[in-house]
Amino acid sequence: MKKSRALAAAGACLLLAACGTTHENAGAGGGPGATAKCGADGKYTIGMSQANVAEPYRQRMNDDIRSAVAAVPQFTVDFADAAQDNSKQVEQVDTFLTQQIDLLIISPNEATPLTAPVKRAFDKGIPVLVLDRKVDGDAYTSFIGADNTAIGRQAGEYFKNVLLPHGGKIAELRGLAGSTPARERHDGFVQGIEGSKIEIVAAQDADWLRDKGQQQADAILQAHPDIQAIYSQNDPMGEGARIAAQNAGRADLPITGIDGLPIESGGLKAVESGRLSATFLYPTGGREAVDAAKRILLDCGQVPKTQTLPTRLVTKENAAATYAELNTGS
Percent above pLDDT 70 for the chain: 88
42 versus 11: the higher-pLDDT residue is 42
The per-residue pLDDT for 10 is: 39
6: pLDDT confidence band, cut at 50, 70 and 90? very low
The per-residue pLDDT for 328 is: 79
The per-residue pLDDT for 54 is: 87
The DSSP symbol for 263 reads S
The DSSP symbol for 177 reads T
Tens of pLDDT along 43-89? 999 999 999 998 889 999 999 999 999 999 999 999 999 999 999 99
Non-local CB neighbours of 313 within 8 Å, separated by 6+ positions: 154, 158, 278, 280
Kindly tell me the sign of the dihedral angle through the C-alpha atoms of 263, 159, 205, 243. Answer: negative
17: pLDDT confidence band, cut at 50, 70 and 90? very low
23: pLDDT confidence band, cut at 50, 70 and 90? very low
277, containing H or E segment: none
Mean pLDDT of 92-104: 97
The per-residue pLDDT for 37 is: 84
Kindly report the average pLDDT of the chain as a whole number.
Answer: 90
178: pLDDT confidence band, cut at 50, 70 and 90? confident
Distance CA 117, CA 121 (A): 6
Locate all alpha helices (DSSP H) within the chain, ordered by sequence. Answer: 2-16, 56-69, 86-98, 111-123, 148-158, 180-192, 210-223, 235-247, 267-273, 286-293, 319-327
Tens of pLDDT along 191-245? 999 999 999 999 999 999 999 999 999 999 999 999 999 999 999 999 999 999 9
Mean pLDDT of 168-178: 95
Mean pLDDT of 291-300: 97
316: pLDDT confidence band, cut at 50, 70 and 90? very high
Greatest Cα pair distance, the chain, in angstroms, is 73
The per-residue pLDDT for 81 is: 97
Task: Inform me whether the pLDDT recorded for 263 exceeds 60.
Answer: yes
Mean pLDDT of 186-195: 98
Query: pTM for the whole thing?
Result: 0.80
Mean pLDDT of 160-185: 95
Mean pLDDT of 170-180: 93
Task: Inform me whether the pLDDT recorded for 22 exceeds 70.
Answer: no
